[in-house]
Structure 1
Amino acid sequence: MDQNTTTPKRKRKEKSILMPSLIALLLFLFVSFSYYAYQIVYTPNVDTKDRDTFVTIPTGATYEQAMDSIEASGAIIDKLSLRFMSKLMDYDELVKPGRYKLEHGWGNRQVIGVLRVGQQTPVNLTFTNIRLRNQLAAKLATEIEATEEELDSLLNDDAYLATLGFDTTTIVSMFIPNTYQVYWTTTAPELMARMKTEYDKFWTAERKAKAEQLGLTPNQVSTLASIVQAETIKNDEKPRVAGVYLNRLQKGMRLEADPTVVFAVRDFTIRRVLNVHLQHDSPYNTYRYAGLPPGPINVPNISSIDAVLNPEQHKYIYFCAKEDFSGYHSFAVTHSEHIANARRYQQALTARNIMK
């Protein structure tokens, strides 16, 4: 008998030995795979190190560009597992643009889940200390995907602005300084429409009635408010300054507001308005032209607008900065009183060697 021939009995014995080993191996592999799968899905894979971390994915970005943006955030612990999970969840077919906040402790499933449905984190849009349209476009472009060029194009398009009830000289008054939540993917036309909606909400029936009592349109109120804002940073003084200019308008006097001259000259470094500046020919130069200028000289905030709508009732016609440089002003009813106040301020400027 051939000794190399395996008997059926021996085969059954070998099979009975191999089966438990194979089952044990398969069980080990199953447990190992399950544990790894659990880690891929649920184990925290985002470390923001106590800082807000955002991922921005531009419109039209490919899967690889999106993954590069996510990894560039520096918050992903295991990049390989994230990519594995993204493929399992078909993220390569579902890339959506937007700005997304990564939360500390998120697992891969949470990260990809938010990205694939486009669950953006809103942007808190704010704008202050804006004078010119191009400055406004530049500021807005830092907050949303729309470019400065796209925004600037709309802000300079008279035909388009007319559909909103504005023109290039008044459009900045449509932007009421506040904090607005918008999505990063908001387009330039969408943002303009949103700001028009917010403007209409701001100009309530009560505010419109107050403007009408003053003989002003909302745009004119914003124009005067921009002058008041340029004159004083003190909110408690704004109604008094507004009262001065309204008194001048009612008397048919020129406003003679220094900030309008600075705006006309376009030299915002001027600290001391001189005769040479007063001669500059511009409709914004309220020393040469009576009434309000064509439009706002900055984007007036709510406190400035409400100061014009609720002015202090007084007889002051003049004011100038106090010589103590406190930011407040000295007010006068007569020209002689004003000259005395102005002389003290001019002397203080000279003492500090402020010549322009």
Structure 2
Amino acid sequence: MKNTIKLFNIFLSILLFLFLIFFYSFFVSKREYKNVNIDVKRGTTFSQIYKNLKLNYGILDRIYLKLSGRNNLKIGVYRFDGKLSKYEVIRKIKRSEISGIRLTIPEGFTSKQVFERMNALGLGTEEEIKKNLAEIKFPYPHKDNNFEGYFYPETYIFAETVTTKEVLETVLKEFLRRFPPEKYPDKQKFYDNLKLASIVEAEVSDREDKPKVAGIFLKRLQIGMRLESDATLKYVLRRQAKSGELKANMSPYNSYRFSGLPPTPIGNPPYETFEAVENAEITDNLFFFTHDGKTYYSKTHEEHLQKRKESGQMK
């Protein structure tokens, strides 16, 4: 009995000793940092952060992070300055105390809109952006330095010292991560699908409608029918086209006047819309329109006009 009590006391002493070591190293001991920036990306782990901050990532740290539910990392650039304990480092990341510039590219944004947002954030003027784009090697078609379609919609966070070229490289690398060049050997076919995906993205937002609308546009292309998408001319005008402009405007982006796809994508679509084009649902339908959040499909122009009247979209 005495031996059991003795062993138990020794065990408690060891546990207490380990706890005190952990408490000191985790909450009391501090390391000094002078403007150290840590870029947390997808897949970054706490072990990598510890390594970058020259901290020991022990088994007790792992247990604490797991039990406290603090092993979920928030993406962003974190700046560490002054004397900080491990606990303060983790708390800073947990609270998403991000240091840096946040660039958000919404789905369907045009390159012009991306340039304007970058300029507003101090990430480069349009002139600087175009100059840097000319120096970037890119595996997909981009005639005349036109990168429309390749600015992948996502939220990017940069250090305040980031250069315009670094911003562009980061955004384009994200596109290549989503669309690896080796997966698409026929680059022109890929580019045509990207053009169509950008049009589909501009026409409908519902995930279920995208493959259906993609199927209609593909069928029109197959039979030599014009796409007749208002979105293509809207891309050039940067506003909704008037009915007279759809008939008279001679821009190659006017799909009411010219057959086939436009010269470039008309925006930057997400992967799911590109996937909708690759898995398009081709049926007998040749017409569609959206009204009050619902998309209507028709086989003939007469049926199309009738549904527009019945829905209230056309008086």
Instruction: Give the TM-score of the pair, scaled to structure 1.
Output: 0.55
Contact 1:207 1:309 in 2 (8 A): no
SS in 2 for 1:226: helix
Gapped regions of structure 2 (runs ≥ 5): 1-27, 29-34, 38-76, 90-97
Contact 2:105 2:153 in 1 (8 A): yes
Pick one of 123, 143, 155 that aligns with 1:146.
Answer: 123
Letter paired with 1:342: R
Match in the other structure for 1:194:
170
Offset from partner CA, 1:54-82 (integer Å, 9 cap, x none): x9x9xxxxxxxxxxxxxxxxxxxxxxxxx
Aligned length, in residue pairs: 235
Residue 170 of structure 1, CA deviation:
4.3
Greater strand content: 2
Aligned pair 1:339/2:305, yes or no?
yes
Pick one of 218, 232, 243 that aligns with 1:260.
Answer: 232
Gapped regions of structure 1 (runs ≥ 5): 1-41, 43-54, 58-98, 115-119, 351-356
Match in the other structure for 2:196:
224
Match in the other structure for 1:302:
271
Pick one of 322, 328, 331 that aligns with 2:294.
Answer: 328
Pick one of 224, 244, 252 that aligns with 1:275.
Answer: 244
Letter paired with 1:195: V
1:39-188 alignment runs, 5 A limit = 101=79, 108-110=82-84, 121=99, 125-129=103-107, 131-141=109-119, 146-147=123-124, 149=125, 152-155=127-130, 159-160=134-135, 165=140, 166-167=142-143, 170-188=146-164
Letter paired with 1:154: I
Offset from partner CA, 1:79-108 (integer Å, 9 cap, x none): xxxxxxxxxxxxxxxxxxxx7557xxx9x5
User: Percent of counterpart pairs with the same letter?
Assistant: 27
Letter paired with 1:153: E
SS in 1 for 2:193: helix
Residue 298 of structure 1, CA deviation:
1.8
Residue 169 of structure 1, CA deviation:
7.5
Identify if the C-alpha distance between structure 1 residues 204 and 173 changes in structure 2 by more than 3 Å, giving closer, same or farther: same
Letter paired with 1:254: R
Contact 1:158 1:167 in 2 (8 A): no
CA RMSD of aligned residues (A): 3.8
Higher relative contact order (CA 8 A, sep 6+): 2
Identify if the C-alpha distance between structure 1 residues 181 and 100 changes in structure 2 by more than 3 Å, giving closer, same or farther: closer
SS in 1 for 2:288: strand
Residue 230 of structure 1, CA deviation:
1.1
Contact 1:315 1:333 in 2 (8 A): yes
Letter paired with 1:285: N
Offset from partner CA, 1:191-243 (integer Å, 9 cap, x none): 2222332222211479627xx5xx95222222111110111111111110011
Larger radius of gyration: 1
Contact 2:308 2:314 in 1 (8 A): no
Residue 136 of structure 1, CA deviation:
0.5
Letter paired with 1:334: T
Contact 1:169 1:295 in 2 (8 A): no
Partner Cα separation in structure 2 for residue 342 and residue 161 of structure 1: 47
Contact 1:175 1:199 in 2 (8 A): yes
Partner Cα separation in structure 1 for residue 262 and residue 204 of structure 2: 18
